[in-house]
Structure 1
Amino acid sequence: MRAGNFDAAFLAVGAHIGKRAFIPVGDAAHIMDAVSVLRSMEGEDKPMLGRRVVVYGGGNTAIDVARTAKRLGATETIIVYRRTREKMPAHDFEVEEALQEGVMIKWLSTIISVGEHNLAIEKMVLDEKGYPQPTGEFETMEADSLVLALGQDVDLSLLQSVAGLEIKDGTVQIGSNMMTGHPGIFAGGDMVPSERTVTTGVGHGKKAARHIDAWLRDRTYVPAAKHEPVIFNMLNPWYYSDAPKIMRPVLDAIRRQSGFEEVQGGLNENNALFEARRCLSCGNCFECDNCYGVCPDNAVIKLGHGKRFQINYDYCKGCGICVAECPCGAIKMVPEDAQ
């Protein structure tokens, strides 16, 4: 920061290092991490996984690697997971599609050692709190390679010497304004305690930008007040037209295993525009003019496109018709003394 004459910086280092597990292995054991396998798919030299591939983990990355292995020619791809399907963090539709493609899942199992062409598995059982516990029952499974999909870590080595910056459990600690313990250094995304999703990361960038702007101006950013959540019974869905069911093309399970064609087809331009226009705009006025048309007292004033409406309280007698007829629940009646 000093070298570049920057007053503030925002760090958003992704979690791109595959986690490792302590598993006794033989000299010739073929073990890789899921992140490296998926990253290598971008190059010309695809990973050599063999015919029998075991994936250790239960998240979406584990599913991705298992499905990728099938497409690379594996005859057997087995996911080994310590808990049950109900406890599996992977999306259910991903699990279902993987099963359709021939991926097998070995539930309540953990890997305890890996040899050149096989690995040892111990059966697990869930305790009353839902945590897996060893049973002492073992079995051997043949495998050409083992892919570890146990989650990702963040490379925080660049921050080790930064004064005031606190690292706990592999993440950078931040305040409510997203600033670390070092003045001027803000952080977000995978490297801070949060849900590791694209949505969260994008939101952190937007939130951090506002806090950084306020901090540089020696102010405190205070988000604008939001209206209360609008639930379904506050809407008038009969104002909206029913939409025909749009069937997006889905590649059959046989073809999916032989290549990397898109499995779930997308919407074409017409369908996408149609779906976007179906938004109910819950709680947000979209200028449908209903209130303007139904008001018996001409108390609703149109302010122009994009500016919505204003109520002339000298004319309004509080009949509530506009509130009842608003499709999206954007109008609320309050006692006059609360104005």
Structure 2
Amino acid sequence: MKEKPFAITLDVGSSLANRTGAWRTERPQYVDRMPPCNQACPAGENIQQWLFHAESGDYESAWRQLMRDNPLPAVMGRVCYHPCETACNRVQVDNAVGINSIERFLGDEAIRRGWTVEAPPATSGKRVLVIGSGPAGLSAAYHLRLLGHEVTIREAQDRPGGMMRYGIPRYRLPREVLDAEIDRITALGVTLELGAKVDDVLAAQADGGFDAVFLAVGAGIGKRAYIPAGDSARILDAVSLLGSMEGAGPPLLGRRVAVYGGGNTAMDAARTARRLGATDAVVVYRRTRDRMPAHDVEVQEALEEGVRIKWLSTIKHADEDRLTIERMELDETGFPQPTGEFEELEADSVVLALGQDSDLSLLRDVPELAVDHGMVHVAEGLMTGHQGIFAGGDMVPAERTVTVAVGHGKKAARHIDAYLRGTTYDPGAKHAPAEFDLLNTWYYSDASASVRPRLELARRVTTFDEVVQGLDESTALFEARRCMSCGNCFECDNCYGVCPDNAIRKLGPGKGFAVDLDYCKGCGLCAAECPCGAIEMVPEE
């Protein structure tokens, strides 16, 4: 008997005709992971989401996404020390994405185009008093207003902004930018009372009929230190110096200025002294550079502008035109110890930049509030020991930056809202982190970060013009497109293209993909070739 030939008929799309899903021991699963930039942002911004809009050129949508968390993007794009960029996975490929510079571009674009945020049509009937108009107070007022509450800000100074106005020099933060962002917040219906110092928080709450209070008085009192000095020695604090730049006129510092301290305020004071005509501005600091609290960019810009730094030095005595400096050395714990070696330093004035304290006198009749080392202790939701009184910003234990304060304002607003409604606020669980080893960086071409232009050095020490400039539209677009969308699908179609079983289904623009498990045999190609690590293989049930 003659054998019949063995034959297989293959039709076009045969992988769809043969349901191979039964072979599978693992299956792919689309996931959302926490991008490292989001995780590192003290303000809690959804950075990756607004970058997604920015890289498509939809700047208004990017700005509106940003404004969900941060009402001061043009300010933060200038003064934030961008821990998001330190955490950025792209730094392991070439350079971190210039998140801060894009944020500034979006903030400036919003001011230029007059973009606004709509207030809610109805109010809750609840009233909240915010004490202080710095970043924490403004952020809290903004979010509380959007949540439907009536908000009144009381500010002791005659202009709003707190230490953003009275502590950050104009060459870092132009006042027209600060004013524009504050005006946008008050335009929502937030009441701003200036020159209205609160002496007793409980009395202010009762007299005004407020249902809750958010304390955001900041840290505007410069710390002093005992320095033996002659009668004619001129000693002032850095907070007073920087604050005086907003008044009738700055103090006369002389040609030779010594700044005592090692933080960002010390750098600001020294750079301000240079702009006020000091030919010699020197920072005296007790430790070494690696132990200096000032950020690297602040130190570098100060050195570029001719500021000198005397490391391992402390001031022992001040006279009319000179200081006695003692050399220090670090012991095995890193603490500075005197050596008995002295030198003299010519100086017409001494500026103390030794830290700042908060004015807590308004809390003296609130025994339930726990205060330690000049700071108010708060619970997880930023409520103090007194029901209905919350606190944030520089007056609570935390890093003292504008970004942290903005984050406190948003967090407090959400917990205050829950308190006023008789509920609790639950932020929910966070996604697992999008770590670098989950990415397939082969798909990302090298693209070095854009460099922000800077004011020429010759003008920097003679004017208070802004030093760091912004990106233009084309450069901001390029920078946004450097984002690798770590841990979250951006619909690149890689999984769709590499699947040998045609098991990946497109759900439509903005809706992502799904896996047809009738045909997926769990080969893992989609997960291996996903650029952003948004697919994981899980054991088949």
Say whether the fold is shared (TM-score over 0.5). Answer: yes
Q: Which moved more, 1:52-61 or 1:159-168?
A: 159-168
Please point out which of 237, 245, 248 is paired with 1:41: 245
Q: How does 1:319-334 map to 2 (within 5 A)?
A: 319-334=523-538
Please point out which of 322, 328, 334 is paired with 1:118: 322
Please point out which of 269, 288, 291 is paired with 1:84: 288
User: Partner of 1:170 in structure 2?
Assistant: 374
User: Partner of 1:108 in structure 2?
Assistant: 312
Q: Secondary structure at the match of 1:2?
A: helix
**1:219-252 deviation digits (Å, cap 9, x = unpaired):** 3333222222122221122323432553433344
The structural deviation recorded for 1:98 is 2.0
**1:136-167 deviation digits (Å, cap 9, x = unpaired):** 23333221111111111111111121241111
The structural deviation recorded for 1:263 is 2.8
The structural deviation recorded for 1:285 is 2.3
Q: Does 2:206 correspond to 1:24? A: no
The AA in structure 2 aligned to 1:133 is: Q
Relative to structure 1, is the Cα distance of residues 245 and 185 closer, same or farther in structure 2, using a 3 angstrom cutoff?
Answer: closer
Q: Does 2:538 correspond to 1:318? A: no
Relative to structure 1, is the Cα distance of residues 223 and 119 closer, same or farther in structure 2, using a 3 angstrom cutoff?
Answer: same
Relative to structure 1, is the Cα distance of residues 205 and 311 closer, same or farther in structure 2, using a 3 angstrom cutoff?
Answer: farther
**Greater share of helix:** 2
The structural deviation recorded for 1:304 is 4.0
Relative to structure 1, is the Cα distance of residues 132 and 303 closer, same or farther in structure 2, using a 3 angstrom cutoff?
Answer: same
Please point out which of 254, 259, 275 is paired with 2:479: 275
Structure 2, unaligned runs of 5 or more: 1-204
User: Partner of 2:331 in structure 1?
Assistant: 127
Please point out which of 395, 401, 405 is paired with 1:191: 395
RMSD of the TM alignment (CA)?
Answer: 2.2
Distance 1:301 1:5 in 2: 58
Contact 2:449 / 2:479 at 8 angstroms: preserved in 1? no
Structure 1, unaligned runs of 5 or more: none
Distance 1:7 1:318 in 2: 57
Q: Among the aligned pairs, what percent are the same residue? A: 69
Distance 1:268 1:162 in 2: 51
Q: Secondary structure at the match of 2:315?
A: strand
Contact 1:300 / 1:312 at 8 angstroms: preserved in 2? yes
The AA in structure 2 aligned to 1:113 is: H
**1:187-219 deviation digits (Å, cap 9, x = unpaired):** 111111111112211222222222223333443
Q: Does 2:279 correspond to 1:66? A: no
The AA in structure 2 aligned to 1:319 is: C
Q: Secondary structure at the match of 1:332?
A: strand
**1:226-283 deviation digits (Å, cap 9, x = unpaired):** 2221222211223234325534333443332222333333211211122112211211
Q: Which moved more, 1:179-188 or 1:257-266?
A: 257-266
By relative contact order (CA 8 Å, sep 6+), the higher-ranking structure is: 2
Q: Does 2:414 correspond to 1:210? A: yes
Please point out which of 467, 482, 488 is paired with 1:284: 488
Please point out which of 447, 466, 480 is paired with 1:243: 447
Contact 2:229 / 2:319 at 8 angstroms: preserved in 1? yes
Distance 1:219 1:252 in 2: 55
The AA in structure 1 aligned to 2:479 is: E
Distance 1:220 1:301 in 2: 40
Q: Secondary structure at the match of 1:141?
A: strand
Relative to structure 1, is the Cα distance of residues 289 and 219 closer, same or farther in structure 2, using a 3 angstrom cutoff?
Answer: farther
Relative to structure 1, is the Cα distance of residues 13 and 272 closer, same or farther in structure 2, using a 3 angstrom cutoff?
Answer: same
Q: Does 2:208 correspond to 1:4? A: yes
User: Partner of 1:52 in structure 2?
Assistant: 256
Number of residue pairs the alignment of both structures matches: 337
TM-score (norm 2): 0.58
Distance 1:300 1:3 in 2: 64
**1:73-110 deviation digits (Å, cap 9, x = unpaired):** 11111111011112111122322332232211111111
Contact 1:227 / 1:283 at 8 angstroms: preserved in 2? no
The structural deviation recorded for 1:44 is 4.9
Distance 2:410 2:520 in 1: 40
Q: Secondary structure at the match of 1:48?
A: coil
User: Partner of 2:349 in structure 1?
Assistant: 145
Contact 1:18 / 1:150 at 8 angstroms: preserved in 2? yes
Distance 1:83 1:247 in 2: 32
The structural deviation recorded for 1:66 is 0.9
Q: Which moved more, 1:200-209 or 1:310-319?
A: 310-319
Relative to structure 1, is the Cα distance of residues 104 and 184 closer, same or farther in structure 2, using a 3 angstrom cutoff?
Answer: same
Q: Does 2:436 correspond to 1:232? A: yes
Q: Which moved more, 1:235-244 or 1:152-161?
A: 235-244
Distance 1:336 1:5 in 2: 60
User: Partner of 1:294 in structure 2?
Assistant: 498
Distance 1:167 1:291 in 2: 56
The structural deviation recorded for 1:42 is 3.0
